[in-house]
Structure formats: C-alpha cells, structure tokens
Amino acid sequence: MKLYFAGIERGVFVKSKYASQIYDALIQHGVQYGLTSYFYLKKDPSFLTREVRIPHIFLDSGAFSAYNSGASIKLEEYTEFVKAHQKSIDVFANLDVIGDAEATLDNQKAMEKEGLEPMPAFHMGEDWQFLKDYMDNGYKYIGLGGLVGKRAYTFRSAFLRKCFEIIPKKVKVHGFGMTSPRLLDIFPWYSADSINWIMGEMRGRLYIYDRGTIRNLRYHKKPQPMTGQRMAADKWNIIQWKKYADHLELRKPWGTGGI
C-alpha cells in the first residue's frame, strides 16, 4: 500500500524558513509519495516542475478545500492544468462536486472526452448506485472520500465495509484524507493520503510508530508558536509517519488480489 503525504506544497507556498525546513525534512527522510492540490498550485503551476523533489506525485483537484473557503474550481482550467503537467504526476483525481454525485460523474466524463483518465471519486452519503456503476463501467482505480470531519468511527467503518463489498479485488482503491490509523490498518487500500504528518504538532500531538501501526500522545492543549520545540516535534512526526508508510507498503493491497 502507498501512503501519500498530503499538503507537500506548504513547504513552498508558505513563505517561511520553518516551512522550508519541514519540506526539506520530507526529502531527508526519504518520503517517496506526496499529494498536492490544484487549488493551491493554480497560481504558481511551476511548482510541479521547479520545486518537487518527491518522486511520486498525486494531484488532487482541491475541491474540498475550495468548498470550505467559498471558492470554486473551473473544470476547463483544471483539465488544462492536468494536460500541461501529466509528466510530473503519477495519479490525478477527478474534479468532484461536493454534495452532487451526478455533477461529479459529468466532470469525469468531460475529462475523459479530453483524452484524460482521472481517478473517479465516490463519497460517503452518495447513492450506492454510483459506485456500482463505476464498477460496471470497468474503472480500475477509484477514490473513496467524504470521510474528513466525520468523527463517528462506526459510521465511517460501516461505509467503507460496504464499499469493499461492492468493489472487486482487482480494482485499486484510494482513501482520500485517511487520517485514522484504524481505518488504514483495517481496510486493504491500494493507496491513501494523510495530512497528519504535519497537522499532528499543530493539534498538540506527537506520533509514534508502534508494532505495525501509529498512535499519538497529546502533550499540550494549545498549538505552540513556531519555535525550535515545534520544529523538533514536526520532524519527529515525519520520521514516525515514514516508518508507518514503510510498513504499509509491505502489505499486499486491494487491486492485487487482496491481503
């Protein structure tokens, strides 16, 4: 299984020595998979050719970030961006429309008409028929999302359990925003992305890789300023998440016959 470190663009677009050092730490500790979003790159698309030193890049549309900030993403512009940077990315997702599975499907078909092969996305709360139709139409790699911000573990696990019942073992499955180690450990993903490697310290958590999983220890109630202590904590978290990613990569994932 491949674990993509999400939010790698922060080390470039956040203009600070601190952000730059964190990005350098990813490279230093051998992170191989990174996820970045068109929503953040559209103002400076040269990032993909100028700055990226992580070999395998997943491009997300950033529709969720745009939705939360009240912004919008134009399908035509996203499509042209993908066309211009295909050589720099391994995988790119469809432009999903939050809360509208039909419009998301329309975007999928529109990008395909342009000769592209975006990863389709199915979200928690959407009609199950959409997922079944994706499978009937022969898609070999699909993303599951809509779980960010959903705190009830039982609801998320029930949703994913049904997804894996519908999705054949020959189909690769990506988990968008998989910040729950329990969900990463239990389900046989082909790939997933998480931003916890950088968000942990901001939430007052140190992570530790422990016997095949990763857990966190809360050590302060409020985020601390960008001090040497915070830098040390972030670098520690990167090391622990890289160890966890290395462990996950040893698993035989869904899409290769299951575990």
Number of CB atoms found within 10 A of residue 129's CB: 10
Which of 3-7, 12-16, 41-45 bottoms out in mean pLDDT, i.e. has the lowest? Answer: 12-16
| SS3 state at 142 | strand
Question: Residue 226 — pLDDT band, cuts 50, 70, 90?
Answer: low
Which of 4-13, 44-53, 92-101 bottoms out in mean pLDDT, i.e. has the lowest? Answer: 44-53
| SS3 state at 99 | coil
Question: Residue 227 — pLDDT band, cuts 50, 70, 90?
Answer: low
Name the H helices within 120-152: 128-136
- Rounded (to 5) percent helix, strand, coil in the chain: 45, 20, 35
* pLDDT tens sequence across 181-220: 999 999 999 999 999 998 876 777 889 999 899 998 766 5
What is the mean pLDDT of the segment spanning 7-14? Answer: 68
Q: How many residues does this entry show for the chain? A: 259
Output the pLDDT for position 150.
Answer: 67
Rounded CA-CA distance 5/193 in Å is: 6
CA distances from 256 to 36, 94, 253 (A): 26, 23, 6
What is the mean pLDDT of the segment spanning 82-94? Answer: 93
Which of the pair, 107 or 148, is modelled with greater confidence? 107
Number of CB atoms found within 10 A of residue 20's CB: 13
Output the pLDDT for position 204.
Answer: 74
Domains in the chain: ranges and CATH: 2-249 (3.20.20.105)
What is the mean pLDDT of the segment spanning 226-250? Answer: 88
Question: Residue 20 — pLDDT band, cuts 50, 70, 90?
Answer: confident
Output the pLDDT for position 254.
Answer: 65
Rounded CA-CA distance 26/30 in Å is: 6
